[in-house]
Amino acid sequence: MARIAAGLESAFARRGFAVPSVEDLRDAAGVSLRTLYKYAPSRDRMVRIALEHRHRRYLDHVFSDLPMGHEAALDALFERIGLWMERETSHGCLFHAAVAANPDDNELKALLERHKSEVAERAAGATGLSGRKIELMQVIEGLTQSWPLYRERATTGARHLGAALRRAEVPGPFDARTSSPSLT
């Protein structure tokens, strides 16, 4: 099953969600059509299998063995995301692309939300920015979405914004400095 999931993920990452035919997906998975349909009886299921596989790989790549210390973890986080973008998906986030390709699919939307929520929780915990989780996620999303245009400069920009968050120079929405209740 892991080989099928990896092949499907690779095919969708390279060619998008509309272009690959079932035969292309079968070839990418390296199995017969019968075997592919045994584990993924529909194209929708193939997309979900690919995204679940990607979710696990992304979390492992970004969060495994982060350095100790919040500042070092923050820098490593942005560097790893930049490296992921360079090696894995230079066109932007595959989860967002899946929802854009099928905007009425509530299961895909839920998968996107679960992925982003887990990334936000782990990133905030690793960097000591639990009170700035929304802002941290905005920086991460900005890095992911701007990578195709700016490449390494996007990573550098994210590191600068992350450092500003660490120094608390960037007031959060509705934080104590604005006299409004915090959302975090």
Whether 6 has a pLDDT exceeding 90, the answer reads yes
Instruction: Give the start-to-end residue ranges of the domains of the chain.
Output: 1-64, 68-184
For the stretch 138-175, pLDDT in tens is: 999 999 999 989 999 999 999 999 999 988 744 555 55
CA nearest 54: which of 104, 119, 107, 106?
119
- In this structure, whether the domain defined by 1-64 belongs to CATH 1.10.10.60 is answered with yes
Q: Whole-angstrom Cα distance, residue 127 to residue 146? A: 22
Residue reference for tokens 């099953």: 1
Whether 119 has a pLDDT exceeding 60, the answer reads yes
Q: What pLDDT score was predicted for residue 180? A: 42
**CA distances from residue 23 to 1, 20, 49, 59, 153 in whole angstroms, order as listed:** 18, 8, 17, 30, 38
For the stretch 53-108, pLDDT in tens is: 999 999 999 999 999 999 999 999 999 999 999 998 767 789 999 999 999 999 99
Radius of gyration of the chain (CA): 18
